[in-house]
Structures are given as C-alpha cells and as structure tokens.
A = this chain, B = another copy of it.
C-alpha cells in the first residue's frame, strides 16, 4: 500500500504537479511519425501531460508542436492550414512556424509591431525510431535526445505502434513491470503446464538499481535442472524493455510470435491523469533478420492491436471497457485464463478495471510486487530530487544507450550474468 499523499504525488501529471515536473525533464513521445505522413499534411491534435497541443510537419519536413489555441483570440489551430512553412489559423489568418514565431498577420496593418512580439507556445521535437519526441521541461535543462537500441535500429528491423489506455499511466506501467501476472492473465493454454511461465507461478525477483532506473530479474523453475530467467529494464521515467522467448521455447508456444529473436517494450505516456498513450515497440536482435510483414501482423494481433482490432481512424481498441473487452465466459472456462483475446487487451482489462486512478491505500503487496514497490520508491526519490533543484537520474544517454533485455534458460546453479553476458548488450 501507498500513502494517499504519495499516490497523489505520483499520479498527477499536469504542469506544476510533482510527477508532471519530473516527466517533463525527459524527452517524451508526442505522436508517431506516421501520423504526419508528408510535408504540409493536416495538423494533428496531441494531448500530452494534460496540455492540449497541435502537431504539424511543415513544407521542409520540420515538425512543430505548438499550443492548440491561436494566441490572437484562441481559435483552435487544429482547423488551421498547414502551408508554406507554417500553420495558419483560419480565423484571421495568423501564421506560425515550427519555432512558434508569428510569420504572417494579414488582418492587421502591414507595419504592426504585434507580429514581432506575438509568439505561440511550442516545444522542441525530434524524430527517432518512428516516434516524434518532445521535451516540455525548462529549456536550460534539456537533455540529449533519446537514444535506445530500438530507436537506432532501421525501420526494417523495428516496429512501433500506439494505443490509448483509459487509466493513469502509473497503474498501466506497474502492470507492465509486473512479472508474475504472465502466468495467470496471459495464460492462453489452460491446463497446459508445458509453457515455462505457467509451470512455476511464483517466480523469484531480484531488482538491481542502475543509473537509468533498474534492471530486474525473474527466475522460474523450468524443471529438468533448469531455470527460466527473464532480465528486464526499467528506464526512467516511463519505459520498460523485455527480452523475447528464446528459440529453445519455440515448440512450447507454437502460436506465439515470440520465437523471433528480439526485444520489445512499452512507454506509458500520460495523456492526462486518467488516460495514457501506450507506445509499443519491438526490435530485432539480429541484424540479419528484419521484421517481416507477417511477423508484424502476427505480433500486433497477438497483442490485441492488429489492423482489425482498432476502431477505424483511432488508436482505440474495439475490445474496451465499454463492452467488457468482449470477454467470452465459455472460452474462459475452457481455453484461456481471462476469456479475453489479446495479450495487451488482457492487461488493459485489469489495469482499467481498477478505475481511472487506483486507490493504492487498499493494496496488500507481497514478495511478487518487489519491482512495483521499488518503481514507486525510485519515482518518488526522483520527484524529490527535482524539487531540491537537482537533476533526476537517467538523463544521460550513456546510462542506457547500450542496454538490452533478455530471456533465457540456464542450468540451475549457473549464473545468468555469465550465461547472458553477450545477449545483454545492444548490437545496433
């Protein structure tokens, strides 16, 4: 359990809020590159950390991310015209470039001094790994751009997508970091004990603090003198990295697209206090093996967000809170633990089912929740660091540039640190 006042410090993300100030010290995903498919394409609404913004790609391909409202009389720039290196408000024609400068004010006399004075609030952007990132914190503290193995991998070897989750980012992220639920919520083979995750439902957890956050290791008894070890990374402040099942496990999970040697993960980016945009990425671990179209389709479908799983024109799931995720009680009796289709849809049902902001004062945490407990501690300490005027941890790309997660099986009594030494280093 968590004290209500600490919960409040962790979950509120608006400007000036403790967690809002922390999250603004890091580059955050604002939208996918594919949402701005070409120069001068239509602008896109972005709600991020409780702020309403609009993104546009200008005639030169630069991306602006500015206040959703024109500084003249507050008309919505979403309706604006993206033309000739600027976004023009359709109310009175005021036009702004990606830096926020007003470059045209056609309803005022041509010599008006207002044009030089008026600026629109905007944030710097950078494209990396198919994602448009932005930095919304104090300019003097702007860190180096995001730099992860998956953001360096070429588009052929990388996959990114996003989906809306209707709850606070923290309970979504806690669900992602949680390891033991995989044996229950994601058990899609009822009665079968021949998947490694199902065999041992009470994994042992270790958490090792690092400069970028922590890495944590879950160990399950795999029978026949073996252990199944998963090495995850939590990267400050809202990213997780996971390894793939190793080829060894192929025959155990024949229908899972896990057989690809890859890493994958999520970033849980707050839209506001009660909504989260989950960015999903996957990255081939083998430079000779790109992500095939068939793999991409199977992976996203398996996760529950394939082409047929989204409400057209949105990043929202058809299986959602309003329809109980289309739970099938007969399938739940006979085939899967939840009766819900889609690995991440199962997560959404559980995380959204808690309500928009879970009441952590009513929890009963056990040894399986170690990674969750330490996540909160790390976040609270980082919030305090910002409040003291210090730099929060994990800003320097060196701390996380070459990390890689990994899942594998080792002989009992051997150390994963040695067995996995090579696999835990980024190749890209």
Contacts and interface: CB of A to CB of B under 8 A. Distances in A.
Interface stretch (A72-80, A292-300, A401-409): A72-80
Given A90-B184, A106-B202, A107-B202, A74 B366 contact: no
Contacts of A66: none
Which of A93, A325, A349 has the most B CB atoms < 10 Å from its CB? A93
Interface string A56-77: 0000000000000101111110
A105 interface: yes
A180 interface: yes
Interface string A156-199: 00000000000000000010000011011100000000000000
Given A69-B362, A92-B180, A184-B90, A108 B202 contact: yes
A336 to B, nearest CB: 9
A110 interface: yes
A426 interface: no
Contact of A91 (B69, B90, B107, B181): B181
A108 B367 contact: yes
B184 A93 contact: yes
- Number of copies of chain A assembled together: 3
Given A107-B366, A184-B92, A76 B332 contact: no
Given A81-B337, A91-B184, A369 B73 contact: yes
A314 interface: no
Contact of A338 (B79, B202, B324): B79
A103 interface: no
A138 interface: no
B79 A354 contact: no
Contacts of A253: none
Nearest to A186: B90
Contacts of A358: 73-74
Interface in A340-381: 340, 346, 349-350, 353-355, 358-360, 362-369, 372
A366 B114 contact: yes
Contacts of A350: 75-76, 79, 90-91
Interface residues of A, number: 62
A288 to B, nearest CB: 38
Contact of A114 (B117, B337, B364): B364
A109 interface: yes
A42 interface: yes
A425 interface: no
A246 B332 CA distance: 52
Nearest to A109: B202
Contacts of A368: 92, 107-108
B363 A71 contact: yes
Given A114-B364, A184-B91, A78 B353 contact: yes
B340 A79 contact: yes
Contact of A74 (B73, B112, B201, B362): B362
Nearest to A180: B107
A117 B366 CA distance: 12
A327 B368 CA distance: 51
A180 B241 CA distance: 54
B366 A112 contact: yes
A118 interface: yes
Contacts of A355: 74
B72 A201 contact: no
B363 A73 contact: yes
Interface in A287-341: 324-325, 327, 329, 332, 337-340
- 7 closest cross-chain pairs (CB), A and B: A76-B353, A107-B180, A93-B184, A42-B329, A106-B201, A74-B354, A75-B350
15 contacts: A69-B354, A74-B355, A74-B362, A79-B338, A79-B339, A90-B184, A90-B346, A91-B184, A92-B184, A92-B185, A93-B183, A93-B201, A107-B180, A109-B367, A114-B366
